[in-house]
Amino acid sequence: MKDVQNVSRRSFIKGIGLASGGLIIASGTSLFNSCSVETKELIAFNPNLFVQLNSDGSLILVASRSEMGQGVRTSLTSVIADEMEADWDRVSIQQAVGDVKYGDQNTDGSKSVRLLYEEMRKIGAATKAILIAAAAKKWEINESECSAENHFILNTKGDKIGFGDLVEIAKTLEVPTDVRLKDPKDFKFIGTYLPSKDVKNLSNGTAVFGLDARLEGMKFAAVKRCPVAFGKVVSFDKTAALKIAGVLDVVEIPMLIKPFGPLGGVAVIATNTWAAFKGKEALKVEWDLGANKDYDSEAYMEEITANVLKKGNVVQSSGSVDEAFKKASKTIESTYQLPHLVHAPMEVPNAVAWVQGDTCEIWAPTQEPQRTRTEVSDFLGTSEENVTVNVTFLGGGFGRKSKPDYVVEAAAISKAIKAPVQVVWTREDDIQHSYYHTVSSQYMKGSIDENGKVTGWLHRFAFPTIGSTFSPGADEPAPWEAASAANVPFEIPNMQFETGKAPAHVRIGWLRSVINIPHGFAINVFADELAHEAGIDPLEFRLNLIGSDRIETTENDYKYDTARLKHVLRTAAKNADWGKKLPEGHAMGLAVHYSFLSYVASVVEVSVINDKVKVHNIHSVIDCGLAVNKNTITAQMEGAAIFGMSLAFYGKITAKEGAITQSNFHDYQMIRMPQVPNIHVEIVENNERPTGVGEPGVPVIAPAIINAIFKASGKRFKNLPLMDYNLV
């Protein structure tokens, strides 16, 4: 049965973020900057902010979320095109500027498709309805006699007319109050392996990334920042810097104590990026290192580990773990330590800004264009309407580019030098002055009875919270950070979750999968330890831990379904042929985790030969509800597997005397091509509401590797990365 949505014109417009009533009509010119379709001699029809149909039949669909390789531009616009019955070959995509009229544009948290899917469907269906109404008016027949197919409206007599030929009539019509959505069985693009619209431009070099942005008369800048977070400039000597060929000027920029404020420092302005970099190297700066000058990550790990080894603040409890431990056949205790991590996207932070009076235009690879607009306007003391944020392609983001400190830097420098400027961070800047994924220590204690059933589960953790970035001084996990551990899907009668104190000494921010990385690691490795003590196969043991099929309501009325969790686990095990005989030194490990409303399991095959670990196969299964674009989902799961391997083998940021000790890819390494295993991805087929994809594939990889290593070698590694044990 088709799904009919009764949507008033007012609520429809409100739902898509349109700021004012009525149709937006662009007659003779395009609403959008830099359209890929020439519209000078065309009539353009804009039934809402996301669709422009031109009289030649060309269709421009607006992408409001940022593209960083995850395929969101194709996924979201294909939903509109599918409901419209558009010809995908006639579609081009226009990137939206940062503006509240587009609704939430924050491309973070694996939520773009899950939050916008229904709205994009309504937009496409409404546009199709207007075109059907236009055709019916032209033919003087009932709308019920018309249907849409592949960029045409057809009638029951066999006539058809192209979408473009209906623009003149369509632009005079009202948005319908009843929006009829397709039956999923009629989808043409949704649920398929649809190639990215951006592949051609990305592969031939014509796609514009932040680093590609150029303006006439543009200068280039590099910023020297204090090696210790929140340290300040005392004085600087620019003499040597000004002697570098191409260096034009040296200016100090302010530090702003706010969540996304720049760290401040001294900026070198030059005629090219290389000169700016060399000038920065030549600068002599005296720093006030500030309160974090003694931060030592090794000593800090000892401090927070001591905090998790003693009674903490109880954030959730059921039953009595103390009684369970007293009556247990066995109790097992373990402590897990994971270091700081950094995003290190291939494209470093960069931005172009041109401040002219009380106006500013930005070109930047940003995940959060609206927050960027707000931060820049706040800094300049002007209204948001005076700030334009043009969103370029992002060469990776992983959460780093949702924090616009680097964009505010560009605005500050442009204002100071009264010229357009591009700020480019070096890789060293990126590694040493970022928002870091939190360091953590986690203590686990469990009890099992004589039958191998888990009767008690205690999880105590301490880590500097992301909340410290927003509320300096916060030293315990925020409720949502604690909830990701307490939401463990195990049917255990006695469970308790506690937090310990952990003050922050660097900027703490979210990184792909956020707190699910340490929680997913500790939970999955500890479950494997319990299975070993119980003498039960890890797969069977994990299924027993999850327990009965049950459904619980979680965020935004989504239903948490343990049957779906068990299904991905069983499917991953089946795909990997769990239990099969493997060559000597080879073994499999598994992990399963629920995050971003999605269910993911991975089975990893490793070998441990001559004390060196090699990953051979990864079998991952994801249940993310309706799979809007299987092509991008598969790619994101493959990327998550490689990302997770990099964290497991190499991910480690340390600090000494307040300064980050890593500086580039030689000491903050990534998995190289020869290390990439065979990666097998299965997407569970269903018609549940779409959920997250970009992040939930990460947390299962490291624990599955650790569990496989134990099975192959008998050695259990509880701290990461593995390079610390000379295993790679």
pLDDT at 556: 65
- The CATH T-level fold of domain 210-291+349-424 is Aldehyde Oxidoreductase; domain 4 (3.30.365)
Chain position carrying tokens 């977070």: 229
Range with lowest mean pLDDT among 23-27, 195-199, 469-473, 575-579: 23-27
CB-hemisphere CA count at 13 Å for 53? 28
Query: Residue-wise over 9-28: b if at least 16 C-beta within 10 A, else e?
Result: eeebbebbbbeeeebbebee
Percent pLDDT > 90 in the chain is 90
Question: pLDDT tens digit string along 136-169?
Answer: 999 999 999 999 999 999 999 999 999 999 999 9
Residue-level pLDDT at 42: 75
Q: Where are the alpha helices (DSSP H) in 600-700?
A: 630-649
pLDDT at 62 over 60: yes
Residue 17 clears pLDDT 50, i.e. is over it: no
CA 297 to chain centre: 26
- Rounded CA-CA distance 510/398 in Å is 8
Query: What does the pLDDT look like over 488-501, one tens digit per residue?
Result: 889 999 999 999 99
Buried b (16+ CB within 10 A) or exposed e, 416-452: bbebbbbbbbbeebbbbbbbbbbbbbbbbbbbbeeeb
pLDDT band at 46 (very low <50, low <70, confident <90, very high): confident
Alpha carbon of residue 77 to chain centroid: 19
DSSP 257-321: -STT----EEEEEESSHHHHHHHHHH-EEEEE-GGGTT--HHHHHHHHHHHHTS--EEEEEES-H
CA 22 to chain centre: 35
Task: Give me the residue spans of the domains in the chain.
Answer: 3-197, 210-291+349-424, 297-342+436-725
CATH of 297-342+436-725, one of 3.40.50.2300, 3.40.50.720, 3.40.605.10, 3.30.365.10: 3.30.365.10
User: What are 98-148's pLDDT values in tens digits?
Assistant: 999 999 999 999 999 999 999 999 999 999 999 999 999 999 999 999 999
Predicted confidence at residue 10, as pLDDT, reads: 35
Structure tokens at 340: 């700081």
Closest to 640 in 3D by CA, of 511, 530, 448, 450: 511
309 has a pLDDT exceeding 80: yes
What pLDDT band is residue 194 in, cutting at 50, 70 and 90?
Answer: very high
| Residue 3: band (very low, low, confident or very high) from pLDDT cuts 50, 70, 90 | very low
Q: Which candidate, 280, 308, 299, 285, places its Cα nearest to that of 658?
A: 299
The overall average pLDDT reported for the chain is 93
Does the domain at 3-197 match CATH 2.30.42.10? Answer given as no
Token output for 517 = 């990385």
CA 656 to chain centre: 30
Task: Note the pLDDT of residue 555.
Answer: 65
State how far the Cα of 234 lies from the Cα of 159, in Å rounded to an integer.
78
Q: What is the mean pLDDT of residues 402-411?
A: 98
Q: Which of the four pLDDT bands, split at 50, 70 and 90, describes residue 250?
A: very high
Q: Name the pTM for this structure.
A: 0.93
- Phi-psi label, residue 648: left if phi above 0, alpha if psi -120 to 50, beta otherwise: alpha
Task: Report percent pLDDT > 70 for the chain.
Answer: 94
Tokens 């391997």 correspond to what residue? 645
- Residue 39's pLDDT is what? 38
